[in-house]
Structure 1
Amino acid sequence: MLVRKTVLAHALTVAFAATVAASSAYAQSNIGNINGRAASGAVVTAQNPAIGVTRTVTAAADGTYNLSQLPPGNYLVRVKLPDGTTRDQQVTVQAGEGSTANFEADTPQTVVVTGRATRIDVKSAESSLVLNKAAIDRIPVARNVTAVALLAPGATAGDTRIGQTALRGGNVPSLGGASPAENVYYINGFNVTNALNGVAFNQVPFDAIGQQQVKTGGYGPEYGRSLGGVLSVTTKRGTNEWHGGVNMIYSPESMSGSSVYAEKSTVTGKYDLQERAGGTDDLQANVWAGGPLIKDRLFFFGLVQGADITRETYSLNRQETVKSNSPRFLTKFDWNLNDSNLVEFTAFSDKSTDKVQNYISPVPYGKQRGASQGNDEYVTGGENFIAKYTSWVTDDLTVSGMYGVGKYNRQSNIASAACPYITDRRTAPTVRLGCATATTIVDPDANDERKAFRLDAEWNLGAHGLRFGMDNEEYKVVDGTFYPGGENYQIRRLASGSTLSNGYRNTSGSPMDYVEIRHFENGGAFTTKNSAFYLEDNWQVTKNLVASIGVRSESFENLNAEDKTFIKVDNTIAPRLGLTWDVRGNAQTKVFANAGRYYIPVMSNTNVRLSGAELDYREFYAYTGSNSADKFQIPGRGAQLGGRAVSSNGEAGDPRSVVDPEIKPMYQDEFILGAQQALNNRWSVSAKLTHRKLKSVMDDMCNDEGAYNWAIANGYDEDKANILGGSIGHCFLYNPGGDLTANVDFEDGNGLTRVVIPAAALGFPKPKRTFNSLELGFERAWDGKWTVQGSYVLAYNKGNTEGYVKSDIGQDDAGISQDWDYPGLMEGAYGYLPNDRRHSLKVFGSYQVLPELRLGANLILQSGRPKNCLGYYAGDLDGVSILYGAASFYCGGKLNPRGSFGRTDWTRNLGLQATYEPKWLKGTTFQVDVLNVFNERTVTSIEEGGESALNTPSPTYGQPVGITAARSVRFLAQYEF
């Protein structure tokens, strides 16, 4: 029937909630729900004919109803009133969200809403950005999960060295002031985060994504193991109609901005970016199909991606050609056993083999090719298998179970494994010598495997919606690292009067050249176990007020290479509280608040570095000024300068004596207060305040001096004091800033003795990290004609620890960075942190100019990152920090607190898109995307090591190590049926 204009306007008002979610009303982010109000006893049916799903419930005495665990899609919601009349609404359910369909007395008899109305989520206090594939396709953005996540308000790109592989820079985001290693990633509800150090994750082919959700705060107790955000992907699936397609995506090197290198000016002493040859030629193709194997019952979707990618790099004295053509795939089956039971199975692979050809470059940055240095291979990614079963037991009770196995390879085959890595660091840029092609070599058999299962249930009790569940993960890691050829050689210059990290002082009266040789090796097979259970009550306190009251309990266990437990923490308690107030009861004005505690597990990297056998030492020799004549070019060594500096002696400690038995996992508290207002014509605006505070840090500490001095002062004899100091000096995992409890074998026949060393004796400050932000947002929802969305965030990220990684030096040893090893390394550490971006402005949208032509744009502006000068420790808190080299906030003998050297420049990135969909060939799409239109090459991070010895300035200080990507042009040709 026709609906009068006034009635349709009311329908749109009702539909404000019809496409938005009570995100906290269901357990996993790959499903949604529909809830609302109707007459008491009314029968409510939601039907999605495309996927054969029909669900029916009866409204409670107060008129409320809830249809939970619904696959994403378009639903017809029909209510049959006690008098026999019916009313309908069209509702869109998105993964990770819910929808509201109200059928109260003044609701029109039939309401059909097409397109998407203004979004106001009046049920959830969660902060999230949700984009389906159609919306993503309208935005000029790089084709990966991280690029989409960076559209979220306040999200910043992590340091390119964090998560870096031998061939690719790191590509993980920082969300809400957390380090890039503190996010969690899901595909169809299965955790695909690489738990070695949290800075990698499995990915499906980009064209297999159905929807991506980025949760940046306030998420419910079904989520944990994250202090940053939750990035969740829901894949495409089959429907009752067969659909398929094929596309080709090509980014030619010839149309991209030039590659650049940094050259230090002899006039200004600053680094300038110069053009050089090289770049990436990227051709990808996808073929997909999906439809019913049995109508209404069994559905299939499959996609295969092929690639032909070549990257050429021309450096100072090396050349590299990388080729990658590994296929990737996704398959998904959905089986409606009946109207009450659904089985899903997902399988995908992102395993990729990169083949590298290495050559000497006879001309700096030139294309002339010299002698071959061999071919290398690197393998990343792996296969994942996910099975899920969902049962709607009754109208009010839904139960689901999931089991998955995920693999991630980190294998390598390095032809030059016997060649030591040799660099000349006396000038800038650094010169590579010898025949090594890799800085470090990972165990050729390195791989990770996760086995996980979870159970979730929802029980609707009228005004109370109970959710409860549990999950369990077992993660096995094979890992190890060593230097090619066994040693790393660095030729450096020591100024007169300067001191090496081992205490050797140059008293010759003139500069001298020396060789620093480092030996490092570790490895083994390790297991990590994480488990959790949660409970939440979504309580409709009044018609307009919803309270989500929940709690999550997590347990963590880490085992060493002998499968002996060395860390075990049971039943951490993480309360969550969310409040949402629909101010006028019409889904147009929402005020919300959230408070919660969030824990993160101990990464498997800690197993490898702390509980395994690790040998790490440095030696220093005078440089003779000559290198060996063969291809190894070993630097000539003269007299040894001082003694060997040992960091780890190669022995694995007793698992009971390397961890504080009273240790608490790393966690933070979060508080959010916000408001959202719907405006006319699909517009909405929002404002939000966020406060995050890190409450506990977990890291390794090696302060043998502090432990020894405390023991002597408290009556221990010299032998026992030395044993205590040595036990701590092996490096000990504890909560920095607090008392240390250690189990120590004093070799007195009494076994392990518990010793408590007070915090004051260890000399560490309390760990601090805060994130405070004001977020202003706006959105004009897509109506088939145009859309725009954007945000401005004013943020302050301050403290003395970044968290699980240390972007200052590009260290991604999650949980065991050099921070907190000795007090001197933390002196001056308080200030604005690496992920602090004071201002962030993001605007993206699209406009249907003509029926066949659509234009899109994406603009991201962000202020720069704080800069430091790191040098050799010259304070008096300890005598060991100097051994770490350029690692403290002393530089040139002066303490320069964190952030004292200004900031990097603002980054400005504009992307444009044009899409042509000709009517003369239905189903065909031609698209051109230009990313970084003005080819702005901004330095995003620098080499912050300011000294090569105490009071000897480093020639590479300030050298760019991160630069924004060059302009790229991407062409897409696609046909769908």
Structure 2
Amino acid sequence: MSSTRNLRKSVLCIAMGLCLSSMAVVPALAQSATGSVTGHAAAGSEVTITNPDTGFSRSVTADADGNYRFPFVPVGNYNVEAPGSEPVPIAVTLGNATNVDVGAGATNLAAVQVVGSRVVTPIDVSSTESATNITAQEIARMPVERNVSSVALLAPGVARGSAGFGGISFGGSSVAENAFYINGLNVTDFYNRIGFAEAPFDFYREFQVKTGGYSVEFGRTTGGVVNAVAKSGTNEFHYGGKFVWGPRDWESEGRDSYFEGERYITRSYDSTDSKRLNVWASGPIVKDKLFFFAMYEGRDIRPQRTDDEGEPFYDGKSDDGFWGTTLDWQVTDNNLLSLMAFSNDNSTASEVFDFDPENGTRGAKIGDVFSESGGSNWALTWTSYLTDDLSMKLMAGDNKRNDVGRSPADPECNYVTRGSGVPNPGVAIGCNFNSSVYDRADEREQWRADFEWALGDHLLRFGLDREKNTSVLDQHYPGPGQYQYNVYSTEPGTFISSSGGGIVPDGYYAYVRARRYELNGNFETTNSAWYLEDNWSVSDNLVLNLGIRNEGFDNKDELGRSYIKMDDMWAPRLGFSWDMKGDGSTKVFGNVGRYFLPVANVINIKQGGALLDERTYYAFDGWEILQYNGVDYASPILGEQFGYYNGQGDGTLGDLRSEVDADMDPVYQDELILGFQQQIDATWSWGVRGVYRKLHNAIDDMGITATPCGRISTQWVMANPGEDVTFWGDTDCDGEDDGYVTIDTSKEGYWTETDHYEFTGGEWEYVNSTPNGQVGWEKPKRTYKALEFQVDRAWDDKWAFNASYTLSWSEGNAEGPVNTDTNFGDTGRTENFDDPFVNLNGYGPLANDHRHQIKLRGSYAFAENWRVGATLDARSGGPITAFGVGSPFDWDSYHSYYICVENCTLPENAVEGDTWSTSDRVFELSRRGGAGRMPWIIDLGTSLEYERSFGAANFRAKLAVYNLLNNQKATWVYQDLEPGVGDRDEFFGQERYLQSPRYGQLTLSLEF
């Protein structure tokens, strides 16, 4: 029966005079909300496309070889016609070329699909990219969580970030290397590069997820790209509403984590009750000319949670609405103007209550916490078809994001934390539940121009774009003195080495870190680029894509001076697509390219601003019980001070010439892809892809302690580890900085030494340090190798199916600008290169190394009005590393791949005259990933949908269940085996972050 149906579709295509173009295939411009239509007709004949929904019509003349092309075509349904053929209905999809032969030149090709009354081309033989297109209609048939990240996760090789800062990983890259676009507007978070501005699901029409090989109009990413287009209006008025309900009672209880019978993380009281009601309308303002789509979503989100200890209890409310709109004006047949705008401002107010987690009872209110996020976004785009061969697209846009956290208790109450193993005082810890007084506003002002110019067998594509990214920040800790108090368990004699602490005094099993942190200012970054690409139709079935992109990044300090500036970054990209049989059914493609990653604005702020980061260490003398607003709380009693450090920032803006490499190289990645796709019949296709990625360089802060003149006080320099570093210093060894000094950090730059102690007068006394010479840094390394297999069956009003399997290896000694394994999400300021011993012998499987990944999705119409859908995402767990904090080569270090096993701390039972040196320590190597793997993560979703029409009304009801099996496996575990030299963290290997519990969601919609 299936083969008969497919045959009928092929015959229908022949009857309509349609085939996939076998001549002069060229790709679509994918940067904005458009696709393209290309093909073959009789030489000199006029080919016309018409959108029956909007009245848009445009004609071009086929060239002497019969080739024609319509660039910059808005996504939608069209009819294509030429003399000698009836109008052919087609679908233009985001970022793709729809290839159609019409008129007297049309021939039979079986590799086409009829979707409803529209013909689409399943294999784009003109494209050299690796991309997955997913429409809103496809998503509606499946249980896909209502956010853009969940859509991206449907593509092969994309995995959810496992650490606390979230995000998604493309092809082994870190979660801070991606780019996100809506209608051509870059909405990526440029402050930390992990998040992005997002609209509600029902604002979008289609998504394109690019996992590699993207063309030169895309840049500023070494991960992946998610390109989305918003809905728009037509000549018919439509309107409707949708209610999305996720009741708290449909959410399974979160699983608490226990260690030796004691609960250390409480999740069982965390839940959310959500209600969303959106209303929308679309239609013509002026028929065939001006159209609108408008949407408003009201929200009532009620999150509830406790902290890890199960107290206090946070009861939140968020009820800000969303609005979004698109306006499309067909000024003439050759000129289009479109506007996309939305506001996703959101605020959450949480009341904080005393709470007894043992019996789940809520006590008195003890505080309030407020947060704000989101902002306004708009993009205005002008498209002109200047001639049949030359087209232009201009865009101006603005993207705003706010991030605010505050509490009424901020002026009077400090924030206090208690680590595992520290005695519980039995009352609230501290009198403030806001960890930081934080107010940040980010704004991206964006301009770009894109052109296409057809010259015979060559299609030239060129353009330029510019972004001005501004961050305004005011941040400090709450409470008197603006101190945050962190209480940690320890052992007497432990050296607190990671941030300038000293030796924990005898008799103390906990210490207090009093940290003062202040930062404010206005910081700006300018990113600019231009590109040129030649898409050359070498023959009827071979296309070469030859492109070059030139990038420039300029990160400025709070005074507006260039801090990190890199120009003339050349990104060549070469791709090919071979239509093997000449009928569009079988394609071999490949590409090789270079991609650059910009420096996040957080670096301007924290390295190019007047940062104060002051840390004072005290012995812990117990808890003092105090009161605030009539409620008891505990504050740490500060004992003997044994350490102080402000090397990360002393509150002044230093001479940036001495804090940044004057000749810095950018971070970039080279990528090689080779793939194959084949259309089996009108609905089935399959493909395989091999991927190799190699990351070059890192930009991070390095603790330089030595120059050719010898030892210097620690100088934190933003630079390329393992490369030559040039900064302002002492050139003639007279003790004065007077010029630029260049050192090869692969061999030198860090002064090593051992510390010596003597037992005198009944206690250990520090004697001296012994120099051991200079050492250098290992160069950062990251490679990704993968094989991807995929099979797809297109929807035919009955069922659809997609399956993929990815076998991959992500290896090296540096994940990227964030550290998942140590749960550090401050982009570009990792510990990886603070000193040479952090990464020494640290090569191995990286945090995003999921060796196996299986993805399934599909839907089935089992009755006239009923459909079921399912998705499965199964991936093997990431590696576990047992991190230490020391090395056998130096007395001080941050995270390291060495564990001290003998003579780690000052000896007990010492007698007069005994000596001890840090060189007496005995270390063992602890390999990256050497502590095993986290468990497989399996996430199964199911949905049941009912749809029925009542005259002009269409009703849908969909019940979706996410994580149906309620798997709550660990996605991340504690990986600090040695919190202090010689100490062992009993929580090493214990779970910290888990899969979200099962929850259900009901969607009801009515459309007219």
Is 2:732 the partner of 1:740?
no
Is 2:107 the partner of 1:107?
yes
Task: Please tell me the residue identity of whatever aligns with 1:59.
Answer: A
Q: Contact 2:17/2:85 (CA < 8 Å) preserved in 1?
A: no
Is 2:930 the partner of 1:943?
no
Q: Contact 1:205/1:330 (CA < 8 Å) preserved in 2?
A: no
Task: Please tell me the residue identity of whatever aligns with 2:55.
Answer: G
For 2:697 and 2:681, the matched residues in 1 are separated by 46
Is 2:817 the partner of 1:824?
no
1:902 pairs, out of 923, 932, 935, with 932
2:502 corresponds in structure 1 to 504
TM-aligned CA distance change 1:5 to 1:284, over 3 Å: closer
For 1:113 and 1:555, the matched residues in 2 are separated by 45
2:607 match: secondary structure: helix
TM-aligned CA distance change 1:337 to 1:212, over 3 Å: same
For 1:429 and 1:77, the matched residues in 2 are separated by 75
Is 2:435 the partner of 1:435?
no
Task: Please tell me the residue identity of whatever aligns with 1:896.
Answer: S
- Which segments of 5 or more consecutive residues in structure 2 lack a partner in the other structure? 1-5, 750-775, 902-922
Stretch of structure 1 that moved more, 469-478 or 625-634:
625-634
For 1:219-257, what per-residue CA distance to the aligned partner results, in whole angstroms no more than 9, with x for missing partners? 000000000011111000000111111010101111111
2:801 pairs, out of 766, 782, 788, with 788
For 1:758-780, what per-residue CA distance to the aligned partner results, in whole angstroms no more than 9, with x for missing partners? 12113111110001000000100
Q: Contact 1:20/1:120 (CA < 8 Å) preserved in 2?
A: no
For 1:554 and 1:844, the matched residues in 2 are separated by 38
- The 5 Å alignment of 1:273-422 reads 276-315=268-307, 316-361=310-355, 363-364=356-357, 366-417=359-410, 418-422=412-416
1:867 match: secondary structure: coil
For 1:68-123, what per-residue CA distance to the aligned partner results, in whole angstroms no more than 9, with x for missing partners? 0100111111112xxxx334322110111110001364537999944366711211
For 2:611 and 2:23, the matched residues in 1 are separated by 52
TM-aligned CA distance change 1:465 to 1:953, over 3 Å: same
Q: Contact 2:371/2:403 (CA < 8 Å) preserved in 1?
A: yes
2:256 match: secondary structure: strand
1:93 corresponds in structure 2 to 92
* Per-residue deviation, 1:276: 2.4
Stretch of structure 1 that moved more, 213-222 or 31-40:
31-40
TM-aligned CA distance change 1:89 to 1:435, over 3 Å: same
For 1:772 and 1:109, the matched residues in 2 are separated by 36
For 2:256 and 2:18, the matched residues in 1 are separated by 53
* Per-residue deviation, 1:750: 9.1
Q: Contact 1:161/1:810 (CA < 8 Å) preserved in 2?
A: yes
For 1:175 and 1:22, the matched residues in 2 are separated by 29
2:468 pairs, out of 463, 467, 474, with 474
2:393 match: secondary structure: strand
* Per-residue deviation, 1:411: 1.7
* Per-residue deviation, 1:19: 14
For 1:331-372, what per-residue CA distance to the aligned partner results, in whole angstroms no more than 9, with x for missing partners? 1100001100000011101110111111222x2354322232
2:954 corresponds in structure 1 to 923
* Per-residue deviation, 1:630: 3.5
For 1:294 and 1:43, the matched residues in 2 are separated by 28
Q: TM-score, normalised by structure 2?
A: 0.89
* Per-residue deviation, 1:34: 0.4
Q: TM-score, normalised by structure 1?
A: 0.92
1:717 corresponds in structure 2 to none
Task: Please tell me the residue identity of whatever aligns with 1:833.
Answer: L
Is 2:551 the partner of 1:554?
yes
TM-aligned CA distance change 1:865 to 1:15, over 3 Å: farther
Task: Please tell me the residue identity of whatever aligns with 1:473.
Answer: E
1:198 pairs, out of 193, 199, 207, with 193
1:165 corresponds in structure 2 to none
TM-aligned CA distance change 1:209 to 1:173, over 3 Å: same
TM-aligned CA distance change 1:941 to 1:15, over 3 Å: farther
1:62 match: secondary structure: coil
Is 2:137 the partner of 1:134?
yes
For 1:536-578, what per-residue CA distance to the aligned partner results, in whole angstroms no more than 9, with x for missing partners? 0111000010001000001110111111111211121000111
Stretch of structure 1 that moved more, 804-813 or 411-420:
411-420
For 2:735 and 2:502, the matched residues in 1 are separated by 40
Is 2:509 the partner of 1:523?
no
Task: Please tell me the residue identity of whatever aligns with 1:819.
Answer: N
Q: Contact 1:403/1:453 (CA < 8 Å) preserved in 2?
A: yes
For 1:19 and 1:96, the matched residues in 2 are separated by 20
TM-aligned CA distance change 1:173 to 1:12, over 3 Å: farther
For 2:398 and 2:577, the matched residues in 1 are separated by 37
1:715 corresponds in structure 2 to none
The CA RMSD over aligned residues, in Å, is 2.7
* Per-residue deviation, 1:642: 4.4
Is 2:182 the partner of 1:187?
yes
How many residue pairs match? The answer is: 936
For 2:945 and 2:221, the matched residues in 1 are separated by 38
Q: Contact 1:196/1:603 (CA < 8 Å) preserved in 2?
A: yes
Q: Contact 2:146/2:200 (CA < 8 Å) preserved in 1?
A: no
- Which segments of 5 or more consecutive residues in structure 1 lack a partner in the other structure? 163-169, 713-720
2:61 corresponds in structure 1 to 58
* Per-residue deviation, 1:693: 0.2
* Per-residue deviation, 1:638: 2.1
2:602 match: secondary structure: helix
Q: Contact 2:174/2:817 (CA < 8 Å) preserved in 1?
A: yes
Stretch of structure 1 that moved more, 657-666 or 233-242:
657-666
Q: Contact 2:730/2:741 (CA < 8 Å) preserved in 1?
A: no
- The 5 Å alignment of 1:685-724 reads 685-704=686-705, 707-708=706-707, 710-712=708-710
For 1:419 and 1:812, the matched residues in 2 are separated by 27
1:537 corresponds in structure 2 to 534
Deviation >6 Å, runs of 4+? 12-16, 18-23, 108-112, 271-275, 428-432, 745-751
1:100 match: secondary structure: strand
1:676 corresponds in structure 2 to 677
TM-aligned CA distance change 1:809 to 1:526, over 3 Å: same
Q: Contact 2:26/2:38 (CA < 8 Å) preserved in 1?
A: no
Q: Contact 2:406/2:434 (CA < 8 Å) preserved in 1?
A: no
Is 2:771 the partner of 1:758?
no
Is 2:222 the partner of 1:224?
no
Q: Contact 1:664/1:696 (CA < 8 Å) preserved in 2?
A: yes
1:72 corresponds in structure 2 to 75
Q: Contact 1:617/1:644 (CA < 8 Å) preserved in 2?
A: yes
1:731 pairs, out of 716, 730, 741, with 716
1:703 match: secondary structure: strand
* Per-residue deviation, 1:491: 2.5
For 1:524 and 1:160, the matched residues in 2 are separated by 29
Q: Contact 2:252/2:997 (CA < 8 Å) preserved in 1?
A: yes
For 2:589 and 2:109, the matched residues in 1 are separated by 32
Stretch of structure 1 that moved more, 545-554 or 936-945:
936-945
Task: Please tell me the residue identity of whatever aligns with 2:943.
Answer: Q
1:667 corresponds in structure 2 to 668
TM-aligned CA distance change 1:98 to 1:479, over 3 Å: same
For 1:931 and 1:356, the matched residues in 2 are separated by 26
Q: Percent identity?
A: 36
2:769 corresponds in structure 1 to none
Q: Contact 2:484/2:514 (CA < 8 Å) preserved in 1?
A: yes
For 1:742-789, what per-residue CA distance to the aligned partner results, in whole angstroms no more than 9, with x for missing partners? 123679799741111112113111110001000000100111111001
TM-aligned CA distance change 1:658 to 1:88, over 3 Å: same
TM-aligned CA distance change 1:381 to 1:18, over 3 Å: farther
Q: Contact 2:883/2:977 (CA < 8 Å) preserved in 1?
A: yes
Task: Please tell me the residue identity of whatever aligns with 1:933.
Answer: L
* Per-residue deviation, 1:697: 1.4
